[in-house]
Amino acid sequence: MAPATVRYARVGGLPCALAGATMGTTWSARLVLPVGVAESVARRAIQSALDDVVAQMSHWEEGTAITRYNRAEVGWQALPARMLDVLDCGLAVARLTGGAYDPTIGALVSAWGFGPRQRAYEPPGAAAIDAARARCGWARVRRDGSHAWQDGGVLLDFSSIAKGYGVDCGARALLALGVGDFLLEVGGELRAQGLRPDGLPWRVAIEWPDGGGHADHVVLDRQAIATSGDYRRYFQHDGKRHSHTLDPRSGRPIDNGTASVTVLHDSCMHADAWATALTVLGAEAGLRMANAQGLAALFVVRGEHGLEPRASRAFIASRAAQYAGPHESAPATP
């Protein structure tokens, strides 16, 4: 990605900043409004797009499409188109990673106390983990047209992909209004298009886990970024950190030394899912997978001498950290 060398003013547009709440977190947007598009219209467009994702895919809410699927009896269940898009992406990543990523992990998430019903204080027993694993398995979910098979007791959980998809939906809503310059963020997942109001590119900082600055910077244009990590949501028990990122293959939190993984992608949905999948795989297997799939990924690993960054070939090739000057950066966080 070549850096822009000419700074120019945005003609006929009004810079503005918007914010709101969604998916148990917040969203924010910085954009240039075209002539004739009111700030309130842009805000409603983003919020409406995100509300639609919540109405379909939040397992924290009653009456959503995903909640109805999770409570359904064995059989084919009709699902809305957007939810099918997310499910298909999750199943594809699960297939490619051999189950290191699994959109049917809901029972395990609840067993570890990271679900909507309780907080995590201590690890579940082996029997509880085994019982939860018996209800998981991406291969149990078959697809046919507008339907998905409920195999009995399968609990879909889109927590590792829905925010990214929400970013994509919000971005499409802005583009439909003719907004061509924006940075949209939902819970730390971002997508950018065009340029900042001052004509500079959107430059995003990748957070260094556990605080202490930034691991890198990237410039985004028609591209998304998502980060997964073990340092934002976890609990301590008997001196050990238990991350909310679970390995579906073992039924336990990751323990592979990976502090965070950041993925750049044309789709924030894919970036979100792959960031989680690569975190579960760990630096060695994850880097092999990222290189095989052509994914731009930055791993931050807990090594003997502290945190160490490791980048995939595509990340090294695409990053635009060479931009100089006092560019304001937005943090990319899990």
Read off the pLDDT of residues 159-175 as tens digits, 9 standing for 90 and up: 999 999 999 999 999 99
The answer on pLDDT for 4 being more than 70 is no
The answer on pLDDT for 330 being more than 80 is no
Which of 71-85, 102-116, 286-300 comes out lowest in average pLDDT? 102-116
DSSP 36-99: T--HHHHHHHHHHHHHHHHHHH-TTSTT-HHHHHHHPPSEEEE--HHHHHHHHHHHHHHHHTTT
Per-residue confidence (pLDDT) for residue 60, from 0 to 100: 82
Instruction: Name which residue leads in pLDDT, 239 or 44.
Output: 44
Please give the Cα distance from 282 to 261 (Å, whole number).
9
The answer on pLDDT for 321 being more than 80 is no
CATH of domain 60-150: 1.10.3980.10
Instruction: For residue 77, list its beta bridge partners.
Output: 148
Please give the Cα distance from 42 to 47 (Å, whole number).
9
Q: What is the pLDDT of residues 57-89, one digit of tens each?
A: 998 888 899 999 999 999 999 999 999 999 999
Mean pLDDT of 190-198: 94
Domain ranges of the chain: 14-55+167-324, 60-150
Please give the Cα distance from 26 to 10 (Å, whole number).
27
Is 272 assigned a ligand-binding role in the annotation? Answer: yes
Mean pLDDT of 6-22: 72
Close Cβ partners of 241 (under 8 Å, ≥ 6 residues apart): 230, 234, 235
The answer on pLDDT for 209 being more than 50 is yes
**Average pLDDT along the chain:** 87
Q: What's the whole-model pTM score?
A: 0.89
Mean pLDDT of 22-37: 94
Mean pLDDT of 292-303: 94
Backbone angles phi, psi at 48, to 5 degrees: -65, -40
Structure tokens at 85: 């898009």
Structure tokens at 12: 């006929």
Q: Which residues of 269-282 are buried (b: 16+ CB within 10 A; e: fewer)?
A: bbbbbbbbbbbbbb
Residue found by looking up tokens 């340092």 in the block: 231
Is 160 assigned a ligand-binding role in the annotation? Answer: yes
CB atoms within 10 A of CB 88: 13
Instruction: Name which residue leads in pLDDT, 129 or 215.
Output: 129
By percentage, how much of the chain surpasses pLDDT 90?
68
Is 52 assigned a ligand-binding role in the annotation? Answer: no
Mean pLDDT of 3-25: 69
Given 2.30.110.10, 3.30.470.10, 3.10.520.10, 3.50.50.60, which CATH number is that of 14-55+167-324?
3.10.520.10
Instruction: Name which residue leads in pLDDT, 198 or 231.
Output: 198
Per-residue confidence (pLDDT) for residue 233, from 0 to 100: 60
CA distances from 183 to 21, 152, 165 (A): 16, 41, 15
| pLDDT interval class at 326 (50, 70, 90) | very low
Burial of 76 (0-12, 13-18, 19+ CB in 10 A): middle
Please give the Cα distance from 84 to 88 (Å, whole number).
6
Per-residue confidence (pLDDT) for residue 239, from 0 to 100: 57
Identify the CA nearest to 148 among candidates 218, 60, 66: 66
Please give the Cα distance from 195 to 5 (Å, whole number).
12
CB atoms within 10 A of CB 45: 20
Per-residue confidence (pLDDT) for residue 284, from 0 to 100: 95
Instruction: Name which residue leads in pLDDT, 281 or 245.
Output: 281
DSSP, res 241: E
Please give the Cα distance from 164 to 159 (Å, whole number).
10
Per-residue confidence (pLDDT) for residue 264, from 0 to 100: 96
